[in-house]
Amino acid sequence: MTMRLYNTLTRTEEAFAPSLDHTVRMYTCGPTVYARGHIGNFRTFICVDVLRRTLKYLLGYRVKQVMNFTDVDDRTIVGAQQAGMDLRPYTDQYIAAFREDARALGLEEVEENPRATDETNLRAMAEIVGTLEKQGHAYRSDGSVYFRISTMPQYGHLARLDHGGMKAGARVDSDSYEKEDARDFVLWKATKPGEPAWDFGTGPGRPGWHLECSAMALRLLGPPPLDIHAGGIDLVFPHHENEIAQSEGATGKPFARFWVHVEYLIVDEQKMSKSLGNTYTIPDIIARGFRPSAVRYLLLSAHYRKQLNFTWASLGQAEEALRRLTDFLSRLDAVNGPGAHPDIAARVEAARTAFATAMRDDLNTAAALGAMFELVRALNSAIDAREIGAGDATLIRAAFDEFDGVLGVLSLRRAEDQKPPVPVEEIERRIEDRHAARRRRDFAAADRIRDDLAARGVLLEDSAGSTRWKRK
């Protein structure tokens, strides 16, 4: 079973399969840890997580994924200086915050999470710099080492840069620069007062941002080409373009076969920015009364190559959609009639086929979710008509487990439900108190118990003489 995946390098959808040993070697550009990640960052990480899960659970490949932490660059250094902290403990706190948010959003742990400042990675960077110098792709100036883009005629192919507009011989020292302002970029930056520095044969200094990812990807996933290199659309230029130049300059081989980029998340039709106050973090979302599972659902609900507009209303709609799924599965738990029905099995199999087809079609998550909800509508009607038996229910649950292995929203919601905002023992005690109040016809007291729990994030639902609770 194969899938079609859009390749930014060729601007076409191509059939994807790993090149070695049934194992997908995938590199993801991880966070630059100078601040807590926001929902725009996590749209990329969630979409790449869904790609990872599709490759593993739907297509049956092994996956070796590397996602780095950029813990030394201009922004981390400035942040540490302003905080009066050494670089390592300063970035430690944001790595910890990222891991916390990643767990809350149901991201699978990847095989490797290297840090740029790990000595093994710094040595790998120094080796690349030395190789590029020997091969004439790099030169020294004022203690720094720069990549000479004129030595790579294919430079700019990923971003479709206009070679006629490139500034030959000009240099850029910062870790980012304006789009299409293609100039020689820094590989190794000379030591500046107050900045961290290392020397593994390159002279005292620290790596440029672009060099870090090349070294970690090649060290942990080589030999090139990698199968997939993924990241946000904002990284196409200069970061990924420069990764290609220095990696291919050093190895003489293509760096990656497929380049996968996730489109921007915008907020209320505007680009996210600190000045607008719309760079929401996961704690910000939770403070508004929403759950991370709803965030995950929303961020994967649109195709990854289309911009997604985040609004609080759309997050509420995601919560309602997710509730429809969980309510259906709760209804299914109550099915206890005997037997199984061939027409139900046929509906489930058709949904499984539609789901798999959508995900193999360049991760069409919107169509995959559509197949799930079409099945829910049909099965809710069948439950109403008492046309589902216990044998059908087992088959249906297995199908939804398969869907969720790829999307990862239902299992995340279940995990949240197991950690309610009120201790389970207290919820159960309050339910018994409410039953006692209703038996003595003190309905005002029963309503107060229900309303108090609702205010604290726990909803009570009465049916057939019993009460069940769920998170709000």
Strand segments, DSSP code E, in 308-437 are 308-310
pLDDT of residue 180: 58
pTM, entire model: 0.90
Q: Residue 158: phi, psi to the nearest 5?
A: -60, -45
Cα 243 off chain centre by: 21
Angle between helices 312-333 and 292-301 (to 10 degrees): 110
Q: Report helix, strand or coil for 1.
A: coil
Closest to 210 in 3D by CA, of 249, 252, 247: 247
- How far is 46 from 406, CA to CA, in rounded Å? 11
CA distances 346 to 16, 340, 370, 390, Å, are 29, 11, 17, 16
- 43 and 110 Cβ atoms separated by less than 8 Å: no
Instruction: Please give the structure tokens belonging to residue 8.
Output: 């930014």
DSSP string, 135-196: TTSEEEETTEEEE-GGG-TTTTTTTT--GGG--TT-EE-SS---TT---EEEEEEEP-TTS-
Closest to 188 in 3D by CA, of 175, 170, 169: 175
- How far is 6 from 12, CA to CA, in rounded Å? 6
pLDDT of residue 169: 63
CA distances 171 to 27, 145, 184, Å, are 28, 11, 5
- 363 and 260 Cβ atoms separated by less than 8 Å: no
Residues whose CB falls within 8 Å of the CB of residue 14, separated by 6 or more in sequence, listed in order? 4, 5, 6, 7, 258
- How far is 159 from 161, CA to CA, in rounded Å? 5
- 30 and 67 Cβ atoms separated by less than 8 Å: yes
| Owner of token pair 């107060």 | 448
DSSP string, 23-88: EEEEEE---BTTS---HHHHHHHHHHHHHHHIIIIIT--EEEEEE-BB--SHHHHHHHHHHT--HH
**Mean pLDDT of successive 10-residue segments in the chain (472 residues)?**
94 97 97 97 98 98 98 96 97 98 98 98 98 97 94 94 68 68 89 93 94 98 97 96 97 98 96 87 93 98 98 97 96 88 96 98 98 98 93 96 98 90 86 92 93 87 84 72
- How far is 341 from 83, CA to CA, in rounded Å? 65
Strand partners, 239: none
